[in-house]
Chain A
Amino acid sequence: MEIELKNISYFRDGKYILKNVYFKFEKNGIYTVIGPSGAGKSTMLKLINRLIEPTEGAIFINGVEYKNIDVILLRRKIGMVFQRPFLFEGTVKENIELGPFLRGEKNIDALFYLEAVGLSKDYLFKDVNNLSGGEAQRVSIARALANSPEVLLLDEPTSSLDPTSASIIEELIKRLNREGIMVILVTHNMEQAKRIGDYTLFLYKGELIEARKTGEFFENPISEVSMLFLKGKLKEMIK
């Protein structure tokens, strides 16, 4: 899938959250989106998922303006996982089946998706309240996978997890990408971006400052803002 952000801006409460951003996600890879808090990273994901509408500019999916694509279909093809897993009351199985169930599908192989995120069948009938943070996040990814997405938008999925759980999720992201799913990952964790990102987009005050191959960006940032950010010398420091 190809996603083109064509000069998009998002204006809210008297200020630009995103400003004139142009970028084309065209190759299957892991794109990490980094930048200080309030840079517009999560807003970018919400715009791609069409949870919000760009104030200016347009988004094209495989060359078609996404306003011309059925929004429900679009969201199934471009799945999104949030920082908090937001599992719904019930069992793991019920959560995984939710997406297909919403469009009237039954007989979903929940176990397939559960195993895809590295959890055993013992989890299938577990109450979601009895899951650890890492397990809950993996279930939320399995739930998104049950919609058979071509793209996964991940909004800081490991920020509240311990290092072991975070590492499991990172391995999962890499595997899903190898299996053909494009991943756009918002992260505050520079080391994570270096470890798993093929491409890195650096946002600052709503503007896309740099978008390059990850290795090149971290070794040789072009703009002064990027350099200061990587050295931790920007005013809005990363957490």
Chain B
Amino acid sequence: MSTSSLIFASSLVFVAVFISYYQKLGIEKEIIIGTARAVFQLMVVGYILHYIFSANNALFTLAMVAVMILVAGDNASKRGKEIPKIFYYVTFSIAVSAAVTLSLLILFGNIKFEPQQVIPVSGMIIGNSMVASGLSVSRLKDEIKNRQEEIEAYLALGATSRQAAQKVIKMSIKTGMMPTVDSMKTLGIVQLPGMMTGLILGGVDPITAVKYQIMVTFMLASTVAISCFTVTFLTYRTFFTKQHQLRQAF
């Protein structure tokens, strides 16, 4: 794609601005700022990736993955900002899911430990973990708040915190995983995923693109399950005291 054709494509943003103006949505400024930020961020990332790819240094690659995890952790933890230490729990969960999934992919020979492969794949893993763990935390917080009396009824019967929270733990993990599971069901029929589309646009044979996409599907199933499970089990404890009491502060 030439730079000039990309500039022409930018006119599509004005369609969004026009609709906002015409329907008095009042988000014209936000669309323009959002677009400018996206262009700037992608340009910066493009140059950083260009440098990392040409350097082909394992430390640079891992540093890039670490930055992605930290940013994702910061973003997902906003879903439960009232919860103490939530940033650490979310970031740890994303890191665990990324480490396990990436290691397995490298071990099975699906990808090589090269920046060109590790960084884009990590991006997909971390991005999905971020969304899934954020959803899990948010559901956990809401359910514990709404089911306070029910949980206390369990505790009063002699249940431990874990036993009393079991139902909401299940709900939270499921909530985080469901968008990925749902999208797996319609993959290729309702939606052609980004990676596959990108490969086909880049001239790769569709069969090869499909193989990669299947790998990505397996990878995302594992990554969201690990991150939702880890973040939910780390976080639910913060709602209880050591004496199996529901904290009153949340």
Residues of A at the B interface (CB closer than 8 Å) are 12, 46, 49-53, 71-73, 75-76, 79-80, 82, 84, 86, 98-99, 102-103, 143-144, 147
Contacts and interface: CB of A to CB of B under 8 A. Distances in A.
Contacts, number: 52
Closest 8 interchain pairs by CB?
Answer: A86-B153, A80-B156, A76-B158, A99-B157, A75-B158, A71-B243, A72-B158, A102-B159
B245 A99 contact: no
B208 to A, nearest CB: 48
Contact of A75 (B149, B156, B246, B248): B156
A79 B243 CA distance: 16
B181 interface: no
Given A51-B245, A71-B244, A75-B158, 20 more contacts: A12-B248, A51-B155, A51-B156, A52-B245, A53-B245, A71-B243, A72-B160, A73-B158, A75-B155, A75-B156, A79-B156, A82-B153, A82-B156, A84-B149, A86-B149, A86-B150, A102-B160, A103-B158, A147-B157, A147-B158
Contacts of B248: 12, 52
A53 B248 CA distance: 10
Interface in B143-165: 149-150, 152-153, 155-160, 163
Contact of A50 (B150, B159, B163, B245): B245
B203 to A, nearest CB: 54
A53 B244 CA distance: 11
A46 B243 CA distance: 13
B240 to A, nearest CB: 11
B156 A49 contact: yes
B32 to A, nearest CB: 44
Contacts of B155: 51, 75
B56 to A, nearest CB: 56
Contact of B158 (A46, A52, A102): A102
Interface string B226-243: 000000000000000101
Contacts of A50: 243, 245
Contacts of A76: 157-158
Nearest to B249: A12
Contacts of A82: 149, 152-153, 156
Given A82-B149, A86-B149, A72 B244 contact: yes
A133 to B, nearest CB: 16
Contacts of A147: 157-158
Contacts of A79: 156-157
Interface in B68-118: none
A80 B156 CA distance: 6
B243 A102 contact: no
B237 to A, nearest CB: 16
A193 B10 CA distance: 76
Contacts of A73: 158
Nearest to B153: A86
Contacts of B163: 102
18 contacts: A51-B152, A51-B245, A52-B245, A53-B245, A71-B244, A72-B244, A75-B157, A75-B158, A82-B152, A82-B153, A82-B156, A84-B149, A99-B158, A102-B158, A102-B160, A102-B163, A103-B158, A144-B157
A100 to B, nearest CB: 9
